[in-house]
Amino acid sequence: MSLRLGDEAPNFTVDTTSGEIDFHNWKADSWAVLFSHPADFTPVCTTELGRTAALRDGFEARNTKVIAVSVDSLEDHHGWAPDIAAATGNELNFPIIADPDRTVSELYDMIHPGEGDTSTVRSVFVIDPSNKIRLTLTYPKSTGRNFDEILRVIDSMQLTDAHSVSTPVDWVAGGRVIAAPTLSTEDVTATFQNVEELTPYLRFVDDPS
């Protein structure tokens, strides 16, 4: 059965480029981004892992850990790391899971049926501090991910967890947000600043954070 939003992220113990880890213990009280890449020594994946390394400060500022997985061996991961650094200017600074037996890939349904091989597609799971799956994304192998979008969604989820708001289309951190429709107009006016009521259920307000 496929994993759904709100499900508990399955735990696993694996070898990684940073040593053996128990996933839940490793992420502890942090958010986590678990993402798969089809194979080592491939062009799109090289750019993606380099970009992830470059965003280390951004993930840390959001209390978020990142971890990658592919069906390649630990030896291949270590052998590929210098290429990533040379091509992107960013040395790997997060673990890559070695999953040659496809334990994690199958646990998270990352193998794309009908592709003629056993490599993973570009799956993304964002998992919150309570180990609940909060976001899933799946890209085809030929399309690199936009990691700025992943950060944007984490910003939105952390903001909306803390306040009675949601984020509108194309929202970016610091932009105006929407007060929860469950709040009365009186409560919205008392709670938020610069209320703009377009309809009784669509009230824009300033970012309360």
Q: How far apart are the first and last CA of the chain?
A: 38
Q: How far from chain centre, in Å, is Cα 84?
A: 20
| Type and span of the H or E element at 191 | helix 185-191
Crossing angle, helix 147-162 and helix 43-54, to 10 degrees? 40
SS3 content of the chain, % helix, strand, coil (to 5): 30, 25, 45
**Which sequence positions are flagged as catalytic?**
45
Q: Which residues contact 120 (CB under 8 A, 6 or more apart)?
A: 36, 37, 38, 69, 70, 71, 105, 110, 111, 112
Sign of torsion over alpha carbons 81, 84, 85, 90: negative
How far is residue 120's CA from residue 107's CA, in Å, rounded to a whole number? 12
